[in-house]
């Protein structure tokens, strides 16, 4: 009898322990048992909608690329208000330290099951679902980790140990340990069409401040499940895909152009959308435009065509 009583007490204690464990949220639990804190020692997250990454720690230096809100960067060096970082698109450059936060809780994979990827050009993060103040404007490609769902809104983790709410429209949900699912050439064309008229900005990556041709192709392919390092997009041979002859071009193919003088060097890259048209960010026009593949300019400057959807 005593043995049965002892077993019953042990069983009750175990049940109580399990119940307490189950009701703890990632915010309440002791994350040190699940998170490798040492991995995040040299990491930070971006805290502005988009932030510039320069070649040198100088605002007048060349803008190499931009990084998005809540995106991870790896810190390589600090220097008087600047941080030298490696970013997810493959570039290494300098960002102003005020635009990053070394508290990485909002991107720790072990604390969450899913992440939301923004597929619209812009989106607002609210203090409450469906109402309240705007905490932050975010842009296409921004990834936020999901805490819970309420109706048409996701509650998401934000930098600064804050949370916010994002409408489900114009987003996709991806498990934290998985890549974005590859879509189709039609989806890619739909995505790039959203940027028609967006201002040109060298190194830009969004509709927020502007975009250039590599930024356009990088962000559009990325949210459609094609991972291409942005730094490789001006190197025709570095981009994986099938080489295509002009007579066989189809929607979703990438077109690579030179500048009319240096014939082997890529200066512009665009996406063919069908009906003899391709979309790219034209510096001379100052915007994302649609142009004809039948034009003399295209015919004279074409380096090659890559098919990334088979």
Contact 157, 201 (CB under 8 A): no
Helix (H/G/I), strand (E/B), else coil: 81:
coil
Confidence category of residue 36, pLDDT binned at 50, 70, 90 = confident
Looking at per-residue pLDDT, the higher value among 302 and 15 belongs to 302
Q: What is the pLDDT of residues 154-201, one digit of tens each?
A: 999 999 999 999 999 999 999 999 999 999 999 999 999 999 999 999
DSSP bridge partners of 1:
none
Domains defined along the chain, listed by start? 37-101 (2.30.30.40), 112-175 (2.30.30.40), 185-307 (3.90.1720.10)
Minimal CA–CA distance to 123: which of 164, 159, 163, 87?
164
Examine the pLDDT at 30 and tell me if it is beyond 90. Answer: no
Minimal CA–CA distance to 238: which of 302, 142, 303, 141?
303
Angle, CA of 120, 148 and 119, to the nearest 5°: 10
Q: What is the pLDDT of residues 110-131, one digit of tens each?
A: 999 999 999 999 999 999 998 7
Contact 144, 124 (CB under 8 A): no
Q: Is 201 exposed, middle or buried (0-12, 13-18, 19+ CB in 10 A)?
A: buried
Most distant CA pair in the chain, distance? 95
């Amino acid at each position: 009898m005593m043995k049965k009583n002892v077993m019953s007490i042990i069983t009750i204690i175990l049940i109580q322990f399990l119940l307490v464990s189950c009701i703890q949220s990632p915010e309440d639990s002791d994350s040190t048992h699940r998170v490798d804190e040492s991995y995040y020692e040299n990491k930070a997250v971006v805290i502005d909608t988009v932030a510039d990454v320069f070649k040198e720690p100088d605002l007048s230096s060349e803008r190499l690329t931009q990084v998005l809100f809540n995106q991870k960067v790896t810190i390589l060096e600090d220097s008087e208000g600047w941080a030298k970082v490696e970013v997810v698109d493959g570039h290494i450059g300098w960002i102003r330290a005020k635009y990053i936060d070394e508290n990485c809780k909002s991107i720790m994979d072990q604390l969450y099951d899913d992440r939301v990827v923004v597929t619209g050009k812009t989106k607002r993060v609210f203090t409450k679902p469906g109402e309240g103040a705007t905490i932050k404007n975010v842009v296409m490609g921004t990834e936020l980790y999901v805490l819970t769902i309420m109706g048409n809104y996701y509650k998401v983790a934000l930098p600064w140990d804050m949370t916010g709410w994002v409408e489900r429209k114009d987003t996709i949900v991806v498990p934290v340990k998985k890549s974005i699912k590859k879509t189709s050439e039609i989806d890619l064309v739909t995505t790039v069409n959203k940027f028609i008229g967006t201002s040109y900005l060298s190194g830009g990556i969004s509709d927020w401040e502007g975009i250039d041709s590599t930024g356009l192709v990088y962000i559009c392919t990325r949210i459609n499940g094609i991972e291409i390092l942005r730094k490789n997009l001006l190197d025709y041979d570095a981009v994986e895909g099938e080489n295509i002859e002009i007579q066989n071009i189809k929607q979703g193919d990438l077109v690579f152009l030179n500048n009319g003088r240096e014939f082997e060097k890529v200066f512009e890259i665009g996406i063919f959308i069908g009906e003899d048209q391709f979309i790219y960010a034209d510096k001379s026009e100052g915007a994302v435009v649609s142009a004809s593949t039948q034009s003399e300019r295209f015919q004279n400057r074409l380096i090659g065509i890559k098919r990334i959807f088979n």
